[in-house]
Amino acid sequence: MSKQDNKRIEFNYRQYRAMRHLVHECCNYEDGNCILLERGDTCVCVQSISLSLCCKWFWEAVLPLDAELEAALLRREDRKSCAICGAWFVPKSNRGKYCQTCAARMKKQRARERKRRQRERCHALGPPEAL
């Protein structure tokens, strides 16, 4: 699905609130106004008052800062749901099961289990002998 096909992408309320916090990261946002749209007069930032994705600059430069929101809005056919927390994410390969935060947690958990099994099999570390 190309970006031209998605001219009006609607938000639900949770996505709208996340987007409102993200608007402040835009380099064109200043005191509720859009510098890019100003031509002598102050102009309210369209993205901050709209319930749809309509600012091209926000779409290209600011939305990628929040990977979960970007996956939920733009990459609908590429996205997957995390097996642990259920958040939407865009996998880096076809084997991806977890979002970035859950992947780090699962990597640590698997490493702990692997080392535990390795220590159990190790013959050099037998039970302590009684003196």
Average pLDDT of the residues in 8-15: 73
State pLDDT tens for residues 110-121: 999 999 888 888
State pLDDT tens for residues 83-110: 999 887 888 888 889 988 899 999 999 9
131 domain-assigned: no
- Encode burial over 17-56: b for 16+ CB neighbours within 10 A, e otherwise: eebeebbeebebbeeebbebeeeeeeeebebbebebbebe
- The model's confidence at residue 2, banded by pLDDT at 50, 70 and 90, is very low
If asked whether residues 43 and 63 sit together in one domain, one would say yes
If asked whether residues 13 and 28 sit together in one domain, one would say yes
Domain count, the chain: 2
If asked whether residues 26 and 72 sit together in one domain, one would say yes
State pLDDT tens for residues 21-48: 788 778 777 777 777 766 666 777 777 7
1 domain-assigned: no
If asked whether residues 69 and 35 sit together in one domain, one would say yes
If asked whether residues 68 and 84 sit together in one domain, one would say no
Average pLDDT of the residues in 1-8: 49
126 domain-assigned: no
Q: Which residue segment(s) compose the domain that 69 sits in?
A: 9-76
